Each structure stands twice: as C-alpha cells, then as structure tokens.
Chains A and B, each alone.
Chain A
Amino acid sequence: MGTSDLDWSALDLSKNPVPGGKSAIDRLASQFSANGDRCHDVSHSITSACGKAPDFKGDSAKQLQQSLSQVAQFAGRLSDVCEDIEQALRSWGSAVDTSQQTAYKDCQRAMDLRDSIAQNQKKLDQAKQTLKTNSDNLKKVMQTNGDSMSRETNRLLGVINSTTESITHYQGLVADDKGEIKRLKGEVSWVREQYKDAAKKTKQNLDECVDKATAKATQLNILNNAFTVGDFLSGGFESLSGIAELMKADPALIEGLKTAGLIGDELAGDWLGPIVGGLIEGGNLVAPATKTTGNLVQAASKAADTAAKVGAFGCIVGGIADYFGTYYARKEAYGQQAATQDAVAHGLITATTGFAGASSGAAAGAFVGSIVPGLGTIVGAGIGLAVGYLGAVAGNALYDNSVNRGNGDDMWDHMRDNLW
C-alpha cells in the first residue's frame, strides 16, 4: 500500500507523522559515500606516492612533501566526514523505515476500524429504528387490546427483545473498535516520539560532521594561500630547480660560496644568503665566462639572469617566511582572519621588495663586475640589500600603521618593530 492511500485522519492526525523515504535517503547517503571514496582515492594515492620519505631531500622538497601530506590528510579527513554523513543518513533511513512500518500498519488498521465502526454504527442506528418502530406498534396494539396478551403482542415483545440485544451487541463492537483506535493513537504517538528522537540524533551527527570538516579546512586554506600568493612559489621552485642544476654543474662555485658563508644547506631558511650569493655570482662569474664566450655583453647578461634567479628564490622564501612568521605571531592577538590578512600583506611586501632589491642589485653587480671584477660584488650587494631590506621594513611598517596592528603607536614605532 502506498503512503498516498493512507488517511491519517483515522488517527485524528492532519498529516503523516513519520514522513520520509528510506530509498531516497539511502540514495543520498550513497552519493556522499561516493564522494568520500573519491577523497579517499586522492588521499591514498598521494600518501603512497609520498610515502618514500627518504627521497625528499632539502628544505624545499620537505616543504613540498609536507604540503602534499597536508592535502592527503585533508582528503582523508573529508573521506571520513563523508563516511560519517553516510552513516548518519543510513541510520536515519532505518529509523524512518522502522517508524513507518509501525505507523503505516497502525494507520491502515485504524482506517479498517473506522470502516467497521461506521458499519456497526449503521446497524446500530437501524436496530434503534427497529426498536422504536416495534415499540410504537406494541403501544398501539396494547391500546386496542387492552392489557390482554395477544399473539401479536407477544411477537412484538420478542422482536423488541432481540433488537435490544442487537443494539447492545453493536454498541459493544463500536466501543471495542473505538478503544482499539485509541490504543493505536497511543502507539503512533510513541512511534512519533521515537522518530523525533532519531531525527534529533541525526541532526546532531550531521552538525558534528560540519565541525569536523571545518577543523582541517583552515590549515588547508593557509596552504592554498601560501601556494597562490601571486604564483610566486611556483616561480620560486622553477628558479630553485635551475639553481640546483647550476650548482650540480659547477660544484667549485658552490663550495666557494659555502666557504664564504654565503650559502649553506639551510639555503631555503636564509633568504638573505641567496640574494647575496646571487650578487656575488653576478659580479665574479663574468671574468671566466668572458674567456669562454668572448662576448662581454652576453656574459654580463647571462650572469645577471642567473643572479636574478638566485635572488628571486631568496625573496620568495623571505616572503613566505614573513607570511608564516606574521601569521603565527598575530593569530592569538588579532584572530585568524586578521592574522591571515596581515600575513599575506607582509609576505607580498617582503617578497616584492626583496625581488626588487635582488634584481637591481644583480643588474648593478653584473654591470660593474663586467668592467671591474670584484667591485661589482660590493656595489650590487649594497644596492640589493638597501632596496630589499629597507623597502620591506618601510612597506611593512606603512601597512601595520594603516591597519593599526603590530607593536607601536606611530609610523616610527612600526618601523622599529619591523627591523630584523
């Protein structure tokens, strides 16, 4: 029997007290489950590909591995959340189904009883009418014949007796049916309470899923922001790859820079080192390069390009370091949103001014170094550091002063606060 055939007024209800469709709920649960499987696949694929940890060497590679790991964890978390949603909905579907099995059966039974009451009520009414008719006839017969008992009088008395018994019988049936309907109403009311309890529990479970999904999302948003700040990181790693290959090609250069203390294995963590390293490379590599190519201008250009690559990487690392430093320093004091905003602003300002400093320093170093090897190093380093360092300090101070966050009450305080 379809739900549309049920008449809930048989239980004095205006509508279905336990609405819902298990098949529709299960279908929805399956869709969440399928999305969970997809997230699980992403998580599993990244985790298995990323699992060979010893193959990730160097700070930047570790950072990549960490980022991949975060994405894998987040995908895994979403997969768990989808599974929780699926479970909550399937439990709800089962609760709906159980409630409906009882409520629908009771409603059908109440409808049958209502029909039975109507039929018995009709017979009851007919019996009452018969009783009235025969009582009237008896009265007339007795008026005609007096008190003497005639054959007709006896017949009418017999009919009246049997009709009275019928009335009692039908009244009993109607009362029993009404009693049963009352019991069914009580049962459906109890089922409705069970249904509401199940709904409350399902709502609670689903709301918890929202919290679970949100918890890890903040972490991933930071990751996404870090990766998409002006696409610098992508460009940074491109430079990085180039630098790494150049280093492989010219180990003597690397050893020299290391000996001078300008770069080290902590290259990614020291953003000034690569900039200075780039400037020195721009100034000092020109002389041997001219011997090879015999073309001074071309060599200077090549050296400047290489230096700019090194410097670009350094300023990006500096920007990212400033991003995370600002975020964690301000998260507690100003809240997550303000800290993220400040972190992005500081990261961009530091990266941009660092890039300007590195580029101008490298170009100056390459040009002067092509004429007077050695002097270019000093000139380039001076220009690069001045533009990169002072520009970042002034830019960050100006920003902090405008949003009135960070340590200090005026521009000069913010300048001092942003000095490294």
Chain B
Amino acid sequence: MVDFSVDYGQLGDMSRTLNQADKNWESEVHNIDVDSAQGENGLGDDSVADSTNRVNDNLKQRLSNLQQSVHVLNRFIESVTMQTSNVDDKLSVEIEKRQ
C-alpha cells in the first residue's frame, strides 16, 4: 500500500485491547465520590478536602478525554478493518471478472 499499511494481526490485537477498554470503561473505572469522605472521620482538613475534590473533578474530565480517545480510536480501527475486509471481497470478484 502506498499510504496506509499495517500488520492487520497487530491491528486486531490493538482493536481487541481498545474494544475491551472502551466497552468496560464504565464498570472498571471508579466514579470517586470525594463528598462522601468529607468531615471528621473522612479527609479531615477542609483545604485537603477542597483540593481532593478539585483534583478528582479534573481527573474525571481527563479520564473522559481518554475514554473519548479510546472510543474514537476503537471505532476508527474497527472501520479500517471492516472496510479492508469489504474491499478485499469486492476485489476478489472484480479480479475474477477481469480474468
């Protein structure tokens, strides 16, 4: 291929990895509730609780970025794999015709 060539076995490995991460994201990534750990028997100091809340909110956003990227790449690789397979099928028919 002139512009795009990968080892499709390798692409399959990656697809499985990303697909698994994409599908299981909600169940495997904790939705951390810092509010439940506030107070005298929780995080204690107010400034620590505030910072933990802030870093948790930020991390949630970043994890969402990552989830989106994993989802997009997963879709993309699925698309490439499926399209390549379809083209292979069509080409086989076309080559037979030409022969």
- A287: CB under 8 A from chain B? no
- A154: CB under 8 A from chain B? no
A293 to B97, CA, bound (A): 9
Say yes or no: B91 contacts A237, CB within 8 Å. no
* With known contacts A45-B21, A209-B55, A244-B1, A57–B6 Cβ distance under 8 A: yes
- A92: CB under 8 A from chain B? yes
A228 to B76, CA, bound (A): 10
- A413: CB under 8 A from chain B? no
Say yes or no: B73 contacts A61, CB within 8 Å. no
A263 to B1, CA, bound (A): 13
Q: Interface residue tally of chain A, by bracket?
A: 35 or more
- Identify the interface centre among A195, A210, A241: most chain B CB within 10 Å of its CB: A241
A245 to B87, CA, bound (A): 7
In the complex, what's the smallest C-beta–C-beta distance from B98 to chain A, in angstroms?
6
Using a CB-CB cutoff of 8 Å, which residues 39-59 of chain B contact chain A?
Answer: 39-45, 47-48, 50-52, 54-55, 58-59
Contact with B along A209-248 (1 / 0, CB 8 A): 1100110010011011001100001100110111111111
Name B's interface SS: helix
> Closest 10 interchain pairs by CB?
A20-B44, A244-B1, A21-B41, A206-B51, A45-B17, A199-B45, A55-B7, A57-B5, A49-B14, A19-B40
Say yes or no: B69 contacts A85, CB within 8 Å. no
Pick the residue among B29, B42, B68 that contacts A20 (CB under 8 A): B42
A64 to B10, CA, bound (A): 13
Say yes or no: B72 contacts A55, CB within 8 Å. no
Q: A20-B44, A195-B45 are in contact. List 6 more A-B contacts (CB 8 A).
A: A78-B63, A89-B52, A210-B55, A237-B4, A238-B80, A246-B91
Say yes or no: B66 contacts A245, CB within 8 Å. no
What is A's interface to B at a CB cutoff of 8 Å? 3, 16, 18-21, 24-25, 27-28, 31-32, 34-35, 38-39, 41-42, 45-46, 49-50, 52, 55-61, 64, 67-68, 71, 74-75, 78, 81-82, 85, 89, 92, 96, 195-196, 199-200, 202-203, 206-207, 209-210, 213-214, 217, 220-221, 223-224, 227-228, 233-234, 237-238, 240-249, 254, 263, 265, 267-268, 292-293
Say yes or no: B29 contacts A38, CB within 8 Å. yes
Across the interface, name the chain B residue whose C-beta is closest to A200.
B47
What is B's interface to A at a CB cutoff of 8 Å? 1-7, 10, 13-14, 17-18, 21, 28-30, 32, 34, 37, 39-45, 47-48, 50-52, 54-55, 58-59, 61-63, 65-66, 68-70, 72-73, 75-76, 79-80, 83-84, 87-88, 91, 94-95, 97-98
